[in-house]
Amino acid sequence: MHAETGFRESAAQALGDPQIRANFRRAMDGLMAKRAAQFPDPEDFQAMRHLGTAIRARSLLKLPALLEQLEASCLRNGIQVHWARTCEEGNELILGLLQARGATRLVKGKSMVSEEMGLNHFLEAHGVEALESDLGEYIIQLDQETPSHIIMPAIHKNKTQIARQFSQKIKDAKYTEDVDELTALARKVLRRKFFEADAGLSGVNFAVADTGTLCLVENEGNGRMSTHVPPLHIAVMGLEKVVETLEDVAPLYALLTRSATGQAVSTYLNLIRGPRGPGELDGPREVHLVILDNGRSRIYADPQLRATLRCIRCGACMNHCPVYTRVGGHAFQAVYPGPIGTILTPQMEGVGVRHELLHGSSLCGACAEVCPVEIPIPEIIVRLRREATHRDAASAVEGRGTGRTATEDLAWRLWAAVLSRPRVYRLAAWCATRFRRLIPGGLPLLKAWTLSRAKPVPARRSLQERVREEGLPHG
């Protein structure tokens, strides 16, 4: 996904929509309270996140070897492994798998990587129906929207909006605001689709290198139906999702469910080891795993930015972000919104084209405080802001230095010229203090400040003048 308008404009639109603000405020308050209830002891929480951080850091440290081990283990289990450098390659791979088997109907479990690939639109353009089976994803697909949250994609809607949507877009559906009836209605539609589908597609929460196990965390059962009912199962994952052993999964799973939805455990934890075996009554006849890079290797190459890849996609940083909770996910115009998207999206798409997104943060640090794997998000934001405006030849960051503007360059050259010439500096200080109220608030760089704040007015006398007037010693 690429931004169609600037973050500033889309954020302003969201702030002007009281329904959006109310929906997010109510949802985020509930999620924060549930998460807090799961971590009542701060010392226990710190111990859990230190363990989770260590597991993710170790997994990334061994990433190349673990990916090779994962491929070998999957092949041993009967899972075919495919590698995709870009989203385009990933889409073509999946389309090829479907076309080779004459598949035209695909049912999907939740997968943020497939959102990253724009898979639904790609498949539909090639004659394949791709139906979302996660309830939230199904709701936004009916309106042809994108997810506004990585865990709860339709969180920007309330039950009244969903009731109206279902009554208008599902055949023979009556209007009801009863949540149980709405859920049952969606289940009735989707259940038939599971049995009609030629193939199922899912994401992967953790891929275990030594056993070739694909772990899928979910609450609705749609993940299990998508991966077990159709004859073909395709799993897609970013290459950073690999862990070394099954023992690594339990601590990360405990952190994920508690941080994401405030649950000690999710309703389902699927451990997929391969296709249906001889004598087994259910399960897919083929399982394929597509491992996507899409810029992750470049992120991995930088020791500081590599921490971005520790993310387990719990969404806790979003739920606690003062910016996200007010403007919502669509304002970011990215698959991954909120704090994690603020550091991940510019690294994937380029810090120049996503320069404005890097400034959609107050740097308050709430995201880093709640992150279950201790990603230093504010530090990485500051680093990327610098990368966006500096052309460091040693840096591997995509689009480094392309976030500079001609106005900003001119301002910094003038600043340097004034500060390097004492007489010019004193003249500029004299002018600023004497004509301080005449400085236009609409000057290019000053305008960004005065749009929502009072214009700063210099003091009546410069510091040098006051030092001289006071008779204080100075150099």
Give the tens place of pLDDT for each residue, 179-206: 999 999 999 999 999 999 999 999 999 9
Phi, psi of 114, deg, nearest 5: -70, -30
Q: How confident is the model at residue 475 (pLDDT cuts 50, 70, 90)?
A: low
pLDDT above 70 for 255: yes
Q: Mean of the pLDDT values across residues 302-331?
A: 96
Select from 116, 352, 149 the least CA-distant residue to 240: 116
**What is the reported pLDDT for 203?**
97
pLDDT tier, 5 (very low <50, low <70, confident <90, very high otherwise): low
**Phi first, then psi: what are they for 143, rounded to 5°?**
-100, 5
Is the model's pLDDT at 256 over the cut of 70? yes
| Residue that is written with structure tokens 């296709």 in the block | 275
CB 34 within 8 A of CB 262: yes
What residues does 235 pair with on adjacent strands?
202, 289
Q: Which residue has the higher pLDDT, 154 or 440?
A: 154
Position 438 confidence tier, pLDDT thresholds 50, 70, 90 = confident
Does the pLDDT of residue 3 top 70, yes or no? no
Higher-confidence residue: 216 or 408? Answer: 216
CA–CA dist 74, 57 (Å, integer): 23
Rounded to an integer, the average pLDDT of 406-428 is 90
Tell me what the mean pLDDT of segment 13-18 comes to. Answer: 93
Is residue 374 within 8 A of residue 368, CB to CB? The reply is: yes
**pLDDT average, residue stretch 224-229:** 95
Residue 211 is given by DSSP the state: T
Q: Which long-range contacts (CB under 8 A, 24 or more apart) does 152-159 make?
A: 152/27, 152/315, 153/110, 155/23, 155/24, 155/27, 155/329, 156/20, 156/23, 156/24, 156/328, 156/329, 156/330, 157/23, 158/19, 158/22, 158/23
Q: What is the pLDDT of residue 298?
A: 96
Whole-angstrom Cα distance, residue 133 to residue 131?
A: 6
Q: State residue 436's pLDDT score.
A: 83
